[in-house]
């Protein structure tokens, strides 16, 4: 705009349509937009890869913790619950023998 000699509306409109300014502006804006697209694409793709890696690690960690929890639950069930049932069954057999002895003594 500084290099324009005629700064009237007619002169400016004439320069806009008959000068290479629209072509240069269009090329400049397209190149700028493309550069911003490339910079944004690189930033976004790196960010997406980092997010995918973090989420992948979190999923693997969750799976490992789930497997460990299932194994611990099975061990707890087997050694605590079934072990206690076994002890209670033994106690019931002992009580059954005691009541059989008292039934025999009563008659």
For the cut 80, the answer to whether the pLDDT of residue 64 exceeds it is yes
pTM of the model: 0.44
Higher pLDDT, 41 or 77: 77
Q: What is the mean pLDDT of the chain?
A: 80
Domain ranges for the chain? 9-76
**Rounded-to-integer distance, Cα 98 and Cα 38, Å:** 88
SS (H, E, C) 19-57: CCHHHHHHHHHHHHHHHHHHHHHHHHHHHHHHHHHHHHH
Q: What confidence category does residue 24 fall into, taking pLDDT thresholds of 50, 70 and 90? A: confident
65-78 pLDDT, tens digit per residue, is 999 999 999 888 88
């Amino acid at each position: 705009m500084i290099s324009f000699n005629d700064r009237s509306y007619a002169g400016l409109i004439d320069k806009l349509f008959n000068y290479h300014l629209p072509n240069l502006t269009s090329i400049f804006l397209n190149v700028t937009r493309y550069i911003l697209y490339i910079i944004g694409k690189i930033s976004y793709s790196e960010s997406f890869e980092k997010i995918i890696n973090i989420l992948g690690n979190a999923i693997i960690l969750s799976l490992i913790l789930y497997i460990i929890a299932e194994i611990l639950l099975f061990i707890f069930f087997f050694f605590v619950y079934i072990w206690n049932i076994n002890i209670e069954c033994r106690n019931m057999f002992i009580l059954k023998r005691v009541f059989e002895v008292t039934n025999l003594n009563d008659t």
